[in-house]
Structure 1
Amino acid sequence: MERETEAALAVGVVTSIVGFTSSFAVVVAGLQAVGASTAQAACGLAVLCVLQGAGSIWLSRRHRMPLTLAWSTPGAALLVSAAGLSIGWSAAIGAFLVTGALLALTGLWPWLGRTVAAIPPPLGQAMLAGVLVPLCLEPVTAMSVSPALVIPVVVVWLVLQRWAPRWAAPAAFALAVVLVVVSVLHSTGSIPLRVPTLELTAPTFDWAAMIGIAVPLYLVTMAAQNVPGVAVLGAAGYQVPWRESLLLTGFGTVAGAAAGTHAVNLAAITAALPASAQAHPDPAKRWIASAAGGGFYILLAPAVPSLTMLLAAAPPGVLESVAGLALLGTLAASLTSALTTVSDETGGRLPAVVTFLVAASGTTALGIGAAFWALLAGLLLRFVLRTPKAARHAAGRTTTGR
């Protein structure tokens, strides 16, 4: 095997390790927040690993480009914020099915993608930032609850942010697992191990779950995963097969929904590594890295139930702290985008700030979660504050477009 191919395989494995460990805790917390038991959350994660791994192998081999799939980390954070809805696991499954259907429909009907794109990006980013805030506060509050476990994790994360940022979240996760193992051994004398099992749940379709989970989950997955994923690969010189990618991830989400798959999508941040020269000097052969990463995700799937059981046995705040640390970078990027890409003609920063505050409040009304109301409040305020000049400009563009 040539040295370049070996390097591509290694990059693929590293990509999967970073993606898995940096957001594993977020997805566990998200699934459990909407009613999943430990076994159901483990099943959802294992199926996600298999689906995104198989999808990465299929797309990268078929198109000979580094197309990497992932689970929706921002979407999982959204699920954490929806805990107050108390809709039940079967209603969450129904929402996952609708999310997958919307992703697939976006691939079939471009008008749906254009409708999503019409939502002002600052408001979408502000909504995401607000959703992330409660989880990102967890490391702070947990230090007073479980200081012996949380403080070392925070210190390791901080040190690696200075010297090796890519490995900060994975190292924090690894240390948390080690500390939890020691804690569980000390208290029970054994490590909880679980054989992978398939836990299927029949969906129910609840209007509050559709509006409070399915629609925001779809919007966040499109805005924070699929669109940036296309941009990352575009910057590396690759044209993503948009329709096929959306159809594959949408139908994959639908296929895995009953097992707890909340959303499969294009990778965003981790997509950059397989698409770079580190994977292979020849751009036409970098697909090997994505295929290898997909294969490694499938190999990781059997270990998911034991990891989930272990983290479920951790003292309060540990799982949430690891998840919060992993999302701090996403929070910073979302806030920056929400507050620096606005125009005074459309109300300035105020609509984005209101969107952020409503989303961060966690308020529910009529059984619908804060993410939906946040976006609605931001759009309403933006409309009210929009200047006549901006309205005339938009009307002119519409007339010209006809």
Structure 2
Amino acid sequence: MQKNDWSLSAIVAGFVAVLVGFASSVAIVFQAAAAAGASAEITASWVGVLGFAMGISCIGFSWYYKAPILTAWSTPGAALLATSLQGVSLAEAVGVFIFSAVLTTALGLSGWFDKLTRKIPLPIAAAMLAGIMLKFGLDIFISLQASPMLVLLMIGVFLLAKRFWPRYAVPLVLLTGVLFCFSQQQLDFSGVELSLVQLVWVSPAWSWSAILGVGVPLFVVTMTSQNIPGLAVLRSSGYQTPVSPLLSWTGLITLVSAPFGNFSINLAAITAAICSGPEAHPDPDKRYTAGIAAGVFYLLTGLAGATVVALFAAFPKELIATVAGLALLGTIAANLATATVDTQHRDAAILTLLITASGVSFFGIASAFWGLVAGLVTTGWFSWRRSQA
């Protein structure tokens, strides 16, 4: 790692990724912990160990593979736990986490996941990603209704910076938003108290009903709704990192840290897209520093635990939504172009995009998976029809 590989834009991209990751879904983690009957101390331990696990893996993966490889907790997995852990003891919940981690590790070591994902056509994967990220772009203009002055100012700064200082567009947007909110007294730090996290060990217990009813679905939704889109982000950004080692290591890290509350970490999609686009660094070979920066910020969130969560909560949601949407504009555009440039896959790609963006969910599995299935089935149908012609 060279000193000149680092840039302010890469560091800010890492910070924005962590800010978006925590602010957008940490409440779901709290709900999952509450469903398992976790105390305030144990809930803080969950947040702390997740921060440590994501920080270590982001730094390690990004440094070793020289690519912006980010991990995240499984947001669909947390949502599943929030609705499925009622009546399951905290010790049995830890047993569920361990079981899911063992399956993830075994799948990574087998190499099956890597072989399967390589059969997904790039336009279909790009369409799925565009569908996932489309919501973040639309949220800019939804936020415009609630905070027109803030959002218009941030958009104006973004357009100006893209014209004259494109490398610093996102940092300038973030700085503008923070300064505006500060001047309008919209930053509420009253709930922020400095404290270091204390990890709490919970010994696992085993319940077949919990393992089958919660553990298997946790594994499935994490693979389909998180790891597949996460890998697609890497591939669409031009990084051909082998996925089996990444899957194995995320499974092992989850396995080791599950007793402290790590229910699942996986390849990130949205936050990885923030760090793998041109806004992070104009040189793709140097964007790995954004992944390392995100890892450092994740470690800090793990160390500070509830303090950092409260700090992130102080930012208005409109500010976070606008920063995230603007940071992803380039990635959305690139994936839309990839999805539609090949006429052979265009219909299948558009179908994938629309189903993914719709947010429909069946059997507890998110729309990204069903969009991918629809695209692959449509591609297979058209290929079969052409072979019969």
> For residues 189 and 268 of structure 1, what CA distance do their matches in structure 2 show?
31
**Aligned position for 1:25:** 19
1:180 and 1:311 in contact (8 A); partners too? no
* Residue identity matched to 2:57: Q
Q: Which residue of 54, 79, 82 maps to 1:88?
A: 82
1:52 counterpart residue number:
57
**Whole-Å Cα distance in 1 between the matches of residues 83 and 124 of structure 2?**
29
Q: Write the distance in 1 (CA, Å) between the matches of 2:318 and 2:77.
A: 16
Q: Which residue of 1 aligns with 2:71?
A: 71
Structure 1 residues 107 and 299: CA distance shift in structure 2, 3 A: closer
Q: Distance in 1 between matches of 2:49 and 2:172?
A: 24
| Residue 334 (structure 1) shift | 1.6
* CA–CA separation in structure 2 for the residues paired with 1:135 and 1:86: 22
Mean Cα deviation higher: 130-139 or 255-264: 255-264
Q: Look up the match of 2:88.
A: none
CA contact (8 A) 2:44 2:306 kept: yes
- By how many angstroms is 1:352 displaced? 0.9
For 2:231, the equivalent position in structure 1 comes to 222
Residue 396 of structure 1: aligned partner: none
> How far is the alpha carbon of 1:165 from its aligned partner?
2.9
Question: 2:265 matched to 1:262?
Answer: yes
Q: 2:373 aligns to what? A: 376
Matches of 2:10 and 2:299, distance apart in 1: 10
297-306 or 155-164, which moves further after superposition?
A: 297-306
**Change beyond 3 A, Cα 1:133–1:254:** farther
Among the aligned pairs, what percent are the same residue?
24
Aligned length: 352
| Paired residue type of 1:158 | L
AA aligned opposite 2:361: T
Which residue does 1:398 correspond to in 2? Answer: none
Contact 1:68–1:294 (Cα < 8 Å) also in 2: no
Cα distance in 1 between the residues matched to 2:97 and 2:343 = 32
- Where in structure 2 are the equivalents of 1:386-401 lying within 5 Å? 386-390=383-387
Kept after mapping to 1: 8 A contact 2:109/2:248: yes
Aligned pair in 2 of structure 1 residues 149, 363: CA closer, same or farther (>3 Å)? same
**Stretch of structure 1 that moved more, 141-150 or 20-29:** 20-29
Larger mean Cα displacement after TM superposition, 303-312 or 121-130: 303-312
2: distance between equivalents of 1:321 and 1:368? Answer: 27
The one-letter code sitting in structure 1 at the alignment partner of 2:341 is T
Residues 102, 274 of structure 1: CA spacing in aligned structure 2 closer, same or farther, 3 A cutoff?
A: farther
Residues 174/67 of structure 1: CA separation in 2 closer, same or farther (3 Å cut): same
Distance (Å, rounded) in 2 between the aligned partners of 1:357 and 1:260 = 30
2:157 match: 156
Shift of 1:44: 6.5
Following superposition, the deviation at residue 88 of structure 1 comes to 1.5
Q: Which residue of 2 aligns with 1:340?
A: 341
Cα distance, 1:217 vs. partner? 0.8
Q: Is the 8 A contact 1:173 1:322 kept in 2?
A: yes
Change (3 A) 1:54 1:362: closer
- How far apart, in 2, do the equivalents of 1:85 and 1:275 lie? 35
**Residue 328 (str. 1) matches residue 329 (str. 2):** yes
User: Which range moved further: 162-171 or 119-128?
Assistant: 162-171
Letter in 1 for 2:149: A
CA displacement, residues 203-234 of structure 1 (integer Å, 9 cap, x when unaligned): 97265554444322111112213x457x44x7
Q: Distance in 1 between matches of 2:9 and 2:94?
A: 29
* Equivalent residue, structure 2, for 1:170: 171
Q: After TM superposition, give the deviation of residue 69 of structure 1 in Å.
A: 4.0
Structure 1 gaps of 5+ residues are: 235-239, 280-286, 393-402
The residue that corresponds to 1:353 in the other structure is 350
Q: After the TM superposition, which residues 4-19 of structure 1 pair with which residues of structure 2 at under 5 Å, given as runs?
A: 8-9=2-3, 11-12=5-6, 14=8, 17-19=11-13
Counterpart contact for 1:132–1:331, Cα < 8 Å: yes
Alignment of 1:225-264 (within 5 A): 225=234, 227=235, 231-232=238-239, 244=245, 246-255=247-256, 258-259=261-262, 262-264=265-267
Amino acid corresponding to residue 230 of structure 2 in structure 1: T
- Cα distance, 1:172 vs structure 2: 2.5
Contact 1:70 1:264 in 2 (8 A): yes
Corresponding position of 2:130: 129
Change (3 A) 1:177 1:102: farther
Q: Per-residue CA shift, 1:2-36, capped at 9, x if unaligned? A: xxx9xx33534747513322322331244337444
2:113 aligns with: 112
Displacement after TM superposition at 1:112 (Å): 2.8
Name the CA distance, whole Å, in 2 between partners of 1:53 and 1:312.
23
Task: Please say if residues 52 and 294 of structure 1, whose CA atoms lie closer than 8 Å, have aligned partners that are also in contact.
Answer: no
